[in-house]
Structure 1
Amino acid sequence: MTKPLQGLRVIELGQLIAGPFAGKMLAEFGAEVIKIEPPGSGDPLRKWRLLHEGTSVWWAVQSRNKQSVSLDLRTPEGQDVVRTLVQDADVLIENFRPGTMEAWNLGWEALHAINPKLVMLRVSGYGQTGPYRDRPGFGVVGEAMGGLRHLSGEPGRTPVRAGVSIGDSLSALHGVIGVLLALRHRDQNGGEGQVVDVALYESVFNMMESLLPEYSVFGTVRQAAGSSLPGIAPTNAYLCADGKYALIAGNGDGIFRRLMEVIERLDLRDDPELARNDGRVRHVARLDAAIGAWAAERTLDEVLERLNEARIPAGRIYDVADIAADPHYKAREMILDTQLADGTPVQVPGIVPKLSATPGEVLHAAPALGEHTDAVLADIGIDSTTRAAWRARGII
């Protein structure tokens, strides 16, 4: 089966999360992704989180379907290899601090001159321009500057993070969108490539919904609100009799009426002040108290059964054990059984989005460091004697 990105060649120079996550998604839908890693240490992600036999199990997800070439980009030889690879590449991904690629003689102007068709995805903390461009920036800093961290947590408490590197992942998704848009433009307009400039903070800020217009019109500075969603009611996490929480979203007008019937509060159902969201927002404490009192007398399973029967959006808060055991995850192929390099069984997340005719696929496991160095370098004409000399000098 032909994949949507089959025939696309991607050179991935990024490390850790944002750039490599973008490369992962492109590889899952058929792109050939050649990942360049520093000799000896490789991508630092290989040592992040929990390790098995010295390598992060995260690596099995982030680098599946990729080829690994070990190459020191600080050397003239390493830079020459990249320039040669770029001649036949469609996309180059990098997520270094702005100016790093230029210091290696691998900036946009140099690479565009070699291959005018090239699309260059550049992910950084603050973008390639502006007064902050030279500052180091990780996803967590982008989450803070983008407005997300201020809204996370309980009112009056220390702002909390999402628990995953969401700023990096959001940037990767924006990067993939940008790459596909640039490729579409290239193929429709004479084959000219361009730069896709993705900033971590902007990717987060792009998800902030009505945050800025509310401030510009009303002067409102939105604050953290715990498990509720300010301005949309009722929606919250409600404690059940067995100590578990039910997430209940009764904020649609018809849904609200059904919810009030389930909890036997017809007085609230029929109150004209509560018929629309703006009225419910004004009385959100009263609604949360009524729903909370009803949930507190029932187990989580009882609550969810009643609400599902009434077609009211509700659910439990999953931990990873819940995810691994859930039949819907399995039915949707969101949990894949595979193996680590030594044969150890491992479950990894499936592929999204789901395409009906050309779905993504895991074709091969994440590579060992430098696993494809010799094959890739031989393909561009670097003979075994030269490779041996480079390996002795630590270039590959």
Structure 2
Amino acid sequence: MAAAVAPTDQGPLAGLRIVESTAFIAAPLATMSLAALGAEVIRLDPSEGGLDHQRWPLSQEGASLYWTMLNRGKKSVTLDLRTEEGREAAARLVCEGDGIFVTNLPARGALAPEALLDRRQDVIVVTLDGSPDGATAIDYTVHAACGAAQMAGPAGLDSPVNNAVPFWDVIAGRTLAMGLLAAELERRRTGRGQHVALSLSDIAMETMANVGILPEAELSGEARPRQENWVYGSFGRDFETRCGRRFMLATVTGKQWRALLSATGLGTAMDRIGEAFGAPLDDDAERFRARHAIAALVQDWAGARDLTQIADAFAGTSVCWSPYRDAAQLLAEDARASPRNPMFARQAHPGVPPVLTPRTPLRLSAHPRLAAARAPDLGADTASVLGPLDTAGKEADP
């Protein structure tokens, strides 16, 4: 039976209020992800804006695209948390609401996790720090520490390679959101609150263990060498076309391998490579072992064709491939980065003309009409959010 569709577009987290004091990427991404699912997220900033309010890149009007895109769908309240009065007001906002607070900034006084839990036993405090040993860390330094920077780039390269996209922050943000929802689910079952803490460096260390890189080094005593653009343990690499464009190709399943042979007509030649290596190329390990010989054949085939011809040859098949693109080429060539993708709508934001703005990438059958949200004006919700606190305080006076 099909799932019932909600009568509104509020989302599955409608009615859940979260208060945040965050900066950089991971923590605001966590709360923005929850706002996209319907949570009411109240962002606290000083009146001049927080650390990221003018962070690059900027729109032509001077608005931070970084801040804008990480704070979509939130309410904005200006409150000076550098003062005890501001921290007390924020603590009341947390504890007189749904009792959920997210931060990756220093939380002192009334906003310290233990203070909030003393004030309300079922409060949920979610915090992010750099490292469990107390060291400062951001995505770039975590990437440097975990070994990944020494695995990327050409085989003869002596220097490390940074990520252009802060993937550790992104993973940490989604993990924070998962931790918050896990604590909320437990609170609904038990009535118990808790402090959920995460360190950015632990995200990288856990990931390196999860994908086998850390135990591989531990058991072998050696670090995995740079693989250039090869897919480790299977067959995959970048190839250049006749027109000078490059594309990535990977065959990590038998179905993908057979589709490649069919689309390129290289089946007989690949059988000869298998005979030369003493084993058919039916599994990942054998294809990896013969990767250089396989790649030479594929490069000859690709180098005789333009990218459009290769796209035509692979269209409608199970070949796993993609052209390499920069961001401008992505916008010009790929319908997935356009309003033709239902995830995107062109949305104007404060100081930002209409740009592609995603809704949640989750496709929920009960909430098919969730919309892409606008970023707030700094402080636009201060009066409506803090006003009830002032009223409550006055009503409590003798």
TM-score range, shorter chain: 0.7 to 0.9
Given that 1:240 and 1:296 are in contact with CA atoms closer than 8 Å, whether structure 2 keeps it comes out as yes
Given that 1:147 and 1:205 are in contact with CA atoms closer than 8 Å, whether structure 2 keeps it comes out as no
Structure 2 residue aligned with 1:222: 224
2:283 maps to 1:282: no
Distance in 2, matches of 1:363 and 1:258, equals: 37
Given that 2:55 and 2:66 are in contact with CA atoms closer than 8 Å, whether structure 1 keeps it comes out as no
Structure 1 residues 9 and 49, CA gap change in structure 2 (3 angstroms): same
Given that 1:337 and 1:345 are in contact with CA atoms closer than 8 Å, whether structure 2 keeps it comes out as yes
Shift of 1:125: 1.0
Given that 2:17 and 2:98 are in contact with CA atoms closer than 8 Å, whether structure 1 keeps it comes out as yes
2:63 maps to 1:55: yes
Shift of 1:383: 9.3
2:26 maps to 1:24: no
2:131 maps to which of 105, 112, 126: 126
Distance in 1, matches of 2:32 and 2:224, equals: 35
Secondary structure of the equivalent of 1:357?
coil
2:115 maps to 1:115: no
Shift of 1:90: 3.7
Structure 1 residue aligned with 2:306: 299
Structure 1 residue aligned with 2:207: 207
Structure 2 residue aligned with 1:149: 149
The gaps in structure 2 that reach 5 residues or longer are 1-7
One-letter amino acid of the counterpart of residue 345, structure 2:
L
Segment drifting more, 15-24 vs 115-124: 115-124
Structure 1 residue aligned with 2:328: 321
Structure 1 residues 236 and 350, CA gap change in structure 2 (3 angstroms): farther
CA RMSD of aligned residues (A): 2.4
Distance in 2, matches of 1:22 and 1:64, equals: 12
Shift of 1:39: 2.2
Distance in 2, matches of 1:91 and 1:322, equals: 41
Distance in 1, matches of 2:266 and 2:49, equals: 62
2:270 maps to which of 260, 268, 271: 268
Within 5 Å, give how 1:343-362 maps onto structure 2: 344-359=353-368, 361-362=370-371
The gaps in structure 1 that reach 5 residues or longer are 386-396
Superposition TM-score, scaled by structure 2 size: 0.87
One-letter amino acid of the counterpart of residue 227, structure 1:
N
Structure 1 residue aligned with 2:246: 245
Secondary structure of the equivalent of 2:102?
strand
Distance in 2, matches of 1:274 and 1:41, equals: 58
One-letter amino acid of the counterpart of residue 320, structure 1:
A
One-letter amino acid of the counterpart of residue 286, structure 1:
A
Deviations 1:189-226 (A, max 9, x none): x2112222221122223333110221233334113322
Structure 1 residue aligned with 2:256: 255
Shift of 1:363: 6.7
Superposition TM-score, scaled by structure 1 size: 0.87
Secondary structure of the equivalent of 2:315?
helix
Structure 2 residue aligned with 1:373: 382
How many residue pairs get aligned? The number is 374
Distance in 2, matches of 1:283 and 1:152, equals: 21
One-letter amino acid of the counterpart of residue 228, structure 2:
G
Given that 2:88 and 2:110 are in contact with CA atoms closer than 8 Å, whether structure 1 keeps it comes out as no
Distance in 2, matches of 1:64 and 1:83, equals: 23
One-letter amino acid of the counterpart of residue 61, structure 1:
M
Distance in 2, matches of 1:342 and 1:173, equals: 27
